[in-house]
């Protein structure tokens, strides 16, 4: 199923949690990695486990910093983009600062747009896979999550449009949710006792990203997928 010479995969939010798990899994499969994160120490930990990977410390809420990181690292074709980075601050709408709202939207959708534009020309020539990490907040509303829900809803629409634009070029665009309570630094601040009792290590979800990257399933483009289901070996794409 996997291309013998590996693929080039760009992963955001690769310093911890799901992004780090995906990076370690894909490195083990022989893929070439471009890893981005805002936290230098965390990114270094992932890079230490993925020899040969290219890393960039970047604030994806800053368009100029994002553009600089792209210029430094995207020097050739990227086969798969996995936009995993996100900001979630749980607070009532009247307490959300404009800076927080803008940063959440910028990381969630502005960076997705910039990264997609960067990899799109090469993907139009040779095909590619765009994977945007979403959540239930991308289709539902939640109390005290106005900024996060807005960003994830935007990501869902963005992916659907890309699926249509990329259909004639072999480009597959999907959103994907964990599909399972996942133990990450973000979930440690948001999950209650019931969810914590069920959570799993994100490494168990990483095979879903590898399968999507390698197989590039055109019939799933534009859809919203479940990482837990796709990580099970008995599940076919």
Is residue 184 in a domain? yes
Q: How many domains does the chain have?
A: 1
Is residue 235 in a domain? no
Helix (H) or strand (E) holding 158: helix 146-166
Is residue 115 in a domain? yes
Residue 26 φ/ψ, nearest 5 degrees: -70, -35
Q: Which domain holds residue 180?
A: 8-230
For the chain, the residue count is: 237
Is residue 69 in a domain? yes
Is residue 237 in a domain? no
Per-residue pLDDT of the chain (237 residues; tens, 9 = 90+): 333 358 999 999 999 999 999 999 999 999 999 999 999 999 999 999 999 999 999 999 999 999 999 999 999 999 999 999 999 999 999 999 999 999 999 999 999 999 999 999 999 999 999 999 998 889 999 999 999 999 999 999 999 999 999 999 999 999 998 865 655 566 556 666 765 555 667 778 999 999 999 999 999 999 999 987 888 888 888
Is residue 3 in a domain? no
Is residue 56 in a domain? yes
What separation in angstroms does the CA of 229 have from each of 10, 18, 226, 234?
23, 16, 6, 9
10 Å CB burial of residue 64 (0-12, 13-18, 19+) is: exposed
Is residue 130 in a domain? yes
Report how far residue 171's alpha carbon sits from residue 235's, in angstroms, rounded to the nearest whole number.
22
What is the set of active-site residues?
148
Q: Residue 82: which CATH number?
A: 3.40.50.720
**Which DSSP state fits 180?**
S
- Half-sphere exposure of 169 toward its Cβ, with a 13 Å CA cutoff? 19
Q: What is the pLDDT of residue 4?
A: 38
Beta bridge partner(s), residue 130: 81, 173
């Amino acid at each position: 199923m996997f291309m013998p010479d590996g693929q080039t995969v760009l992963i955001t939010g690769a310093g911890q949690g799901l992004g780090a798990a995906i990076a370690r899994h894909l490195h083990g499969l022989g893929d070439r990695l471009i890893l981005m994160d805002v936290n230098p120490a965390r990114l270094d930990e992932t890079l230490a486990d993925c020899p040969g990977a290219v890393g960039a410390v970047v604030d994806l809420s800053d368009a100029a910093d994002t553009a600089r990181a792209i210029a430094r690292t995207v020097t050739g074709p990227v086969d798969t983009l996995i936009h995993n980075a996100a900001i979630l601050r749980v607070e009532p709408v009247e307490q959300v600062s404009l800076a927080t709202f803008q940063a959440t939207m910028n990381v969630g959708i502005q960076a997705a747009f910039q990264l997609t534009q960067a990899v799109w020309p090469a993907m139009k020539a040779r095909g590619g896979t765009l994977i945007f990490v979403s959540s239930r907040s991308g289709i539902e509303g939640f109390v005290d999550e106005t900024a996060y829900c807005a960003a994830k809803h935007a990501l869902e629409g963005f992916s659907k449009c890309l699926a249509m634009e990329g259909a004639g070029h072999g480009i597959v665009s999907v959103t994907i949710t964990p599909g399972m309570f996942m133990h990450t630094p973000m979930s440690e601040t948001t999950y209650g006792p019931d969810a914590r009792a069920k959570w799993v290590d994100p490494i168990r979800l990483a095979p879903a990203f590898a399968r999507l990257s390698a197989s590039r399933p055109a019939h799933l483009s534009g859809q919203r997928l479940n990482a837990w289901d796709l990580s099970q070996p008995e599940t076919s794409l």
